[in-house]
């Protein structure tokens, strides 16, 4: 009887256990269904947002995964260009929740004219930009707004347009090219060694900007290319600073507090930048205090600013002078040298363009009353440089495709509406993509990706400039680059001096991609081989 009872109990207990297991299984299955439904909903929602806004928008993360993926690629600027192409030139970037990465990105010339000129006062650099670059640029002209910017702009403008300053710039450039640049290039030819042309050009422009802006000669461009700690520190600082723009502010500020990652790199590199600026300022102060004859005073920007007073009638602070130095180094060193690097790379890929430039230069040389046979002594005159229309067109075309400053930033101070209909709320950050503009078919036509200098020439073969809101390599409106004319002169003088003497050949299979920085460095430099030209043969081609 007991056995029967036991068996009966076992029989009745078994279904209960099975039922419990089934219930647990069913519950897990329901949870999986819920998670699957949520995943499908998120995926569908993200795809809808992608069709609407150009990129998938994920809950919490926003468009950050797409940005992170672009950062891992070789060219984030191409990624921006492709998104803008699908969105008719403007799109809203949505960052993660509680971050300040939200912004409007545009490459529409109508919008650029509106923010750079028409409503200039409503689109300053803004507090976000100043906070992001403050450690590097401080209150210098690149990041300043309102009265601070206007005062620096006015002072620099007066100096840039003075005859004394123009003479200083042309003389220093001629000296650097003929006594240093050509010597370094010739040394490479004799030794049959490859050379990083980008590094050489950066050294050239660094020496040049220091001589004309601060009255000091750092001697960066010398045989053997001696290591200059400041140059490396400056490049590292600009690279680390740009990462702040693609990182939530709370995150990079935490990294700065903990002194880790790119913030640690920025802190260390800024020590080298500040040390150089300190040496320049102290040297100049000592020179000024020991000179009494105003006629012997140097005509450089730093000297001019040292002689001025701030709004309180006091001499400018040491920090402000430091900011002046760093900003003008960024403006004068990186932009021209980086542009020339991309220009020579494009020439290597377009030999017909190189030949046309060479023919133009050779024709100008042949028109001289006396042709100097000693090519190392021959110097192009200012009036000859001005005649090089095709060369200027070729450089402009390089800048169109590879602008030295690929993107720039503004902030809206009150509710606005772009000409293309985009609504802008107060505080909205606006990024205008200069790199993307050069690749926009709507702006430059179906051949926008081709390197075609002829698009800059009129029927008479003379160079024709484009609207600053279509070709924004030198900015536009009130912030149009003060040094635009000198930059063209510098680039044409350097390019003509090199092309007339050497054929520049990029090393086979050398990787050429842009580096993520404030200016468009080539990530791996530009390794080239140089070979000498025969000027007699070159000149005979234009007979």
Which domains are present in the chain? 99-532 (1.10.630.10)
Closest by Cα among 463, 337, 473, 333 to 401:
473
For residue 16 the two structure tokens come to 């209960």
For residue 466 the two structure tokens come to 């484009």
DSSP secondary structure code for residue 317 in this structure: P
Angstrom distance (rounded) from CA 239 to CA 233: 10
For residue 82, the tally of other CB atoms under 10 A from its CB is 14
Mean pLDDT of 435-458: 96
Better pLDDT: 51 or 431: 431
Any idea which of 37-41, 154-158, 207-211 has the lowest mean pLDDT?
A: 37-41
Helix (H) or strand (E) holding 432: strand 429-433
For residue 384, the tally of other CB atoms under 10 A from its CB is 17
Contacts of 163 (CB under 8 A, 6+ apart): none
Closest by Cα among 388, 378, 391 to 178:
378
DSSP assignment of 253-305: HHHHHHT-HHHHHHHHHHHHHHHHHHHHHHHHHHHHHT---GGG----HHHHH
Mean pLDDT of 267-292: 84
Better pLDDT: 344 or 313: 344
CA distances from 398 to 127, 177, 196, 331, 395 (A): 33, 21, 19, 18, 5
User: In the predicted model, is pLDDT for residue 4 greater than 50?
Assistant: no
Helix (H) or strand (E) holding 527: strand 527-532
Share of residues in the chain with pLDDT > 70 (%): 84
- Predicted pLDDT of residue 504: 97
DSSP secondary structure code for residue 240 in this structure: H
404 three-state secondary structure: coil
DSSP secondary structure code for residue 388 in this structure: -
What sign results for the dihedral spanned by CA atoms 195, 196, 201, 206? negative
CB 35 within 8 A of CB 68: no
Strands 429-433 and 103-106, by their bridges, are parallel
Angstrom distance (rounded) from CA 465 to CA 396: 9
Task: Give residue 264's pLDDT band: very low, low, confident or very high (50, 70, 90).
Answer: very high
* Exposed / middle / buried, residue 448 (Cβ in 10 Å: 0-12, 13-18, 19+): middle
Angstrom distance (rounded) from CA 397 to CA 471: 10
Q: Residues comprising the binding site?
A: 481
Share of residues in the chain with pLDDT > 90 (%): 48
93 three-state secondary structure: strand
Task: Give residue 147's pLDDT band: very low, low, confident or very high (50, 70, 90).
Answer: confident
Better pLDDT: 57 or 535: 57
- Predicted pLDDT of residue 286: 82
Q: Residues comprising the binding site for heme?
A: 481
Contacts of 414 (CB under 8 A, 6+ apart): 122, 426
Angstrom distance (rounded) from CA 96 to CA 114: 29
pLDDT tens profile 350-408: 999 999 999 999 999 988 866 555 554 578 999 999 999 999 999 999 999 999 999 99
Any idea which of 69-78, 191-200, 415-424, 496-505 has the lowest mean pLDDT?
A: 69-78
- Predicted pLDDT of residue 38: 43
For residue 346 the two structure tokens come to 């494009």
Greatest Cα-to-Cα distance within the chain, rounded to the nearest angstrom: 134
Angstrom distance (rounded) from CA 200 to CA 208: 12
What phi and psi values does residue 346 have, to the nearest 5 degrees? -65, -35
Residue positions counted in the chain? 543
User: In the predicted model, is pLDDT for residue 535 greater than 70?
Assistant: no
Better pLDDT: 21 or 462: 462
Cα three-residue angle 244-525-233, rounded to 5 degrees: 45
Any idea which of 303-307, 402-406, 434-438, 451-455 has the lowest mean pLDDT?
A: 303-307
Angstrom distance (rounded) from CA 166 to CA 164: 6
- Predicted pLDDT of residue 89: 93
Any idea which of 263-277, 311-325, 393-407 has the lowest mean pLDDT?
A: 311-325
User: In the predicted model, is pLDDT for residue 25 greater than 50?
Assistant: no
Angstrom distance (rounded) from CA 96 to CA 106: 20
For residue 86, the tally of other CB atoms under 10 A from its CB is 12
Q: What is the CA radius of gyration of the chain?
A: 29
- Predicted pLDDT of residue 20: 55
State the average pLDDT for the chain.
84
**Sheet (strand 527-532) strand order:** 195-196, 527-532, 502-506
Strand partners, 528: 195, 506
């Amino acid at each position: 009887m007991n056995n029967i009872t036991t068996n009966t109990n076992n029989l009745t207990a078994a279904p209960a256990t099975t039922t419990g297991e089934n219930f647990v299984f069913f519950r897990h299955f329901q949870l999986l269904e819920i998670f699957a439904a949520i995943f499908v909903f998120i995926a569908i929602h993200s795809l809808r947002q992608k069709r609407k806004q150009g990129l998938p928008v994920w809950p919490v993360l926003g468009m950050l995964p797409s940005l992170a993926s672009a950062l891992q690629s070789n060219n984030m600027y191409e990624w921006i260009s492709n998104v803008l192409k699908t969105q008719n030139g403007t799109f809203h970037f949505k960052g993660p929740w509680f971050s300040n990465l939200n912004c409007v990105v545009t490459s529409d010339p109508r919008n650029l004219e509106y923010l750079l000129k028409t409503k200039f006062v409503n689109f300053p650099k803004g507090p976000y930009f100043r906070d992001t670059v403050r450690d590097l640029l401080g209150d210098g002209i690149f990041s300043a707004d309102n009265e601070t910017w206007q005062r620096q702009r006015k002072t620099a403008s007066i100096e840039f347009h003075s005859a004394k300053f123009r003479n200083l710039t042309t003389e220093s450039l001629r000296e650097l090219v003929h006594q240093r640049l050509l010597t370094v290039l010739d040394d490479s030819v004799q030794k049959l060694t490859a050379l990083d042309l980008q590094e050489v050009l950066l050294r050239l422009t660094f020496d040049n900007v220091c001589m004309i802006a601060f009255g000091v000669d750092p001697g960066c461009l010398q045989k053997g290319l001696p290591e200059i700690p400041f140059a490396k520190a400056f490049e590292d600082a600009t690279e680390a600073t740009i990462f702040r723009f693609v990182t939530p502010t709370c995150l990079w500020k935490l990294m700065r507090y903990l002194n880790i990652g790119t913030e640690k790199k920025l802190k260390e590199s800024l020590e080298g930048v500040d040390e150089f600026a300190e040496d320049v300022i102290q040297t100049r102060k000592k020179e000024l205090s020991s000179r009494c004859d105003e006629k012997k005073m140097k005509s450089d920007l730093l000297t001019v600013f040292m002689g001025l007073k701030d709004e309180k009638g006091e001499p400018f602070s040491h920090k402000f002078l430091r900011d002046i130095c760093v900003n003008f180094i960024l403006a004068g060193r990186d932009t021209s040298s980086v542009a020339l690097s991309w220009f020579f790379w494009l020439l290597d890929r377009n030999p017909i363009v190189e030949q046309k430039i060479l023919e133009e230069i050779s024709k100008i040389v042949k028109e001289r009353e006396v042709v100097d046979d000693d090519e190392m002594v021959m110097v192009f005159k200012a009036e000859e440089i001005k005649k090089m229309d095709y060369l200027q067109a070729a450089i402009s075309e390089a800048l169109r495709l590879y602008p030295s400053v690929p993107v720039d930033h503004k902030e809206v101070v009150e509710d606005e509406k772009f000409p293309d209909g985009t609504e802008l709320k107060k505080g909205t950050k606006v990024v205008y993509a200069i790199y993307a503009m050069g690749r926009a078919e709507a702006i430059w036509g179906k051949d926008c990706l081709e390197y075609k200098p002829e698009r800059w020439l009129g029927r008479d073969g003379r160079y024709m400039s484009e609207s600053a809101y279509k070709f924004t390599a030198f900015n536009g409106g009130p912030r149009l680059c003060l040094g635009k004319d000198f930059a063209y002169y510098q680039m044409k003088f350097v390019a003509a001096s090199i092309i007339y003497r050497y054929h520049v050949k990029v090393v086979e299979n050398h990787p050429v991609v842009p580096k993520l920085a404030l200016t468009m460095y080539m990530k791996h430099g530009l390794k080239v081989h140089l070979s000498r030209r025969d000027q007699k043969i070159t000149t005979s081609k234009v007979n």
